[in-house]
Amino acid sequence: MKIRTSAYVPGRMVGGMRITWQDGALTAALLFFGLAGTRFAARLQGGEPLDALAYALIVVAACGLLFRTVRPMWTVTVTIASIVVYLALGYPFGPILVSGVAAIYAVALYARIELAAVSALLYALALLPWWNDTLTSWVTWSAGWILLPGAAGVLVKLWRRSAVDVRERTAISERLRLAQEVHDVVGHGLSVIAMQAGVALYVLDKDPAKARASLEAIRDTSKEALDGLRSELDTLRGSAPLAPVITLDDVPALAARMREAGLEVSVEVARIELPDTYQLAVYRIVQESLTNVLRHSSPGVTASVRVFTVRDELVVHVTDTGTPAEFTEGHGITGMRSRAEALGGTLEADASQGFSVIARIPLPA
């Protein structure tokens, strides 16, 4: 049996639409302000006492704001129509116009900008026939009580949209980082395991001790790969424990595992103080480069790893003694280049004289 789930938004369901408590609170405030303040506005303007119809129109105009988040066009239509009928019947200007301001803000925030612009223009024009002052005052009032709320709604909408875009970009960036980590950890482990398994099968009858050593290497490599994969999955779940920090000091151990898998590697790593992010990036570049050599090189090929500084640059140079060949960049090289570029550097891969990777990363200030 399938169970459908959806995100819960606090509020009250009315006719399949969810009205939030903020909508109700705004409506209540407009009702109180409209019903209480209109009597004083009528006295100040020397008008007649309001009847039941006037109060009913004030209530309808305010209640239109209940639907501002789910049906903003309903809100602006009901509210402005109530205001127009109210003014057409000769009732005095008063707090009912504040409901119109709130409706313009709502349609600008929750509907398309074009609809908000049309609604604001129609609202301003709808007030003009009953405007008892100069045209200049009407323009000024419309700018302050219609244009500004609409512009504020649009600005808030754009700000919220940009905030969502930032969160989405951050989430995408984190997913790509996790994918790259999984690729590097698992890809390296599987390559070493495959090579060690081949060695174990080849020497199983001739040299049981060496076959045993290869099987032990497979066990250790698979455990390391599983630990790395489990750590990344814990990170994805948001429950990652503190994991050991990978540093440049781990590069010799990486080279030792490669030697056990049959690839002779020489290592020269300068003593450099670097932030953890730089050391992890360098380690992963070296790891992926050596994994590519192990996976694609012929027997007898050797590799060298050099990590050093030149002026204000950190240089990572991994080469092998293989024969020139054409190659197509895959996920591994793309990931290495992304790691270098994330730190403001560059990475070049070449196979014209054996496989070679050179990463140049500016030293941190």
Highest mean pLDDT among 157-161, 183-187, 219-223, 236-240: 157-161
Q: Compare 226 and 162 and report the one with higher pLDDT.
A: 162
The pTM of the full predicted model, rounded to 2 decimals, is 0.53
| Residue 354 Rama label (left phi>0; alpha psi -120 to 50; beta) | left
Nearest Cα to 263, choosing from 289, 229, 228?
289
5 pLDDT more than 70: no
**Ordered DSSP codes for 186-228:** HHHHHHHHHHHHHHHHHHTTT-HHHHHHHHHHHHHHHHHHHHH
Backbone φ, ψ for residue 88 (5° rounding) = -65, -30
Q: Name the β-bridge partners of 303.
A: 265, 320
- Return the SS3 of 359: strand
Give tens-digit pLDDT for 93-136: 888 999 999 999 999 999 999 999 999 999 999 888 888 888 89
Which tokens go with 325? 């060949």
Q: Confirm if 122 and 80 have CB atoms less than 8 A apart.
A: yes
% pLDDT > 70, the chain? 83
Give tens-digit pLDDT for 338-355: 889 989 999 999 888 888
% pLDDT > 90, the chain? 33
**Ordered DSSP codes for 243-266:** PPPP-GGGHHHHHHHHHHTT-EEE
* Residue 292 confidence class, pLDDT cut points 50, 70, 90: confident
Mean pLDDT of 137-166: 88
The domains of the chain, with CATH numbers, are 12-132 (no CATH), 173-362 (3.30.565.10)
- Rounded-to-integer distance, Cα 301 and Cα 162, Å: 52
pLDDT of residue 17: 59
Give tens-digit pLDDT for 248-263: 998 998 888 888 777 8
